[in-house]
Amino acid sequence: MTALCAAAALYLTALAALIVIAGNRRLFRYYTAAKAVTSGGFLAVALLAFAVGRRALGWRFLLLLGAMALCAAGDVLLGLANNGRGIHSKTFLRGLYCFGGAHLVFCVFYAVLRMPAWWDLLLPLALTGATALLSAKGLLRLHRLRGPALAYSFLVGLMCSMSVGALSAGGPPFAAAGSVLVLLSDCIIVFLYFYIRQRPWMRIANLVTYYLGLLLLGLAAAA
């Protein structure tokens, strides 16, 4: 496990560098590259965790890794949108699709342990309703992203509720904790990109919660 601890430490170092770049206008041109490196880091942690752990996930590790790979692709695309044509570009939309696909695969990963019950729909429906309400009141500037944003809200909420529910069937606690952090990061990102008034600290909060969530999901492969 020493190697895994060292990999996690390197990952956190890369995250720290990304945060510095995200908060510095002169360095922001390196934002996409820094996100790519950090995203590659959580994939490396997951592979190493599975290699040195008990491999209790078995073939389900491929689902976990596939979902995380889609997250990495979404990371890079959102970075390119930030360094390029902005959040209403096709690049940002493709990134959103990648993340939506990732959450769908995460749901399959958790469903293998425990099929969703009716109460698992409460959180995703609440998130979708809140997004629709904020958009209708003009507090969120979604424009043509309204449909994808509503679908995404449902998927990320379902992923989170299923991750917590899977704990009763022996699901990895690190994966559940990571999913909750990813949900929190997505709640922040809505206000970071689409709220009528943005705050600079939101980008840092989004990065910290998201990448710590993916670290925990990667470490769950050691179960």
Q: Which tokens hold the place of 142?
A: 């979604």
What whole-number distance in Å separates Cα of residue 70 and Cα of residue 90? Answer: 17
- Biggest CA pair distance of the chain: 52
What whole-number distance in Å separates Cα of residue 142 and Cα of residue 206? Answer: 18
pLDDT tens-digit readout, 155-198: 999 999 999 999 988 889 999 999 999 999 999 988 888 887 77
Q: Which residues pair with 140 in a beta bridge?
A: 195
pLDDT tens-digit readout, 65-103: 999 999 999 999 999 999 987 777 889 999 999 999 999
The kind and range of the H/E element at 1 are none
Q: Which tokens hold the place of 47?
A: 């592979």
Quote the pTM value: 0.94
What is the amino acid identity at position 206?
A: N
Q: Which tokens hold the place of 8?
A: 């996690």
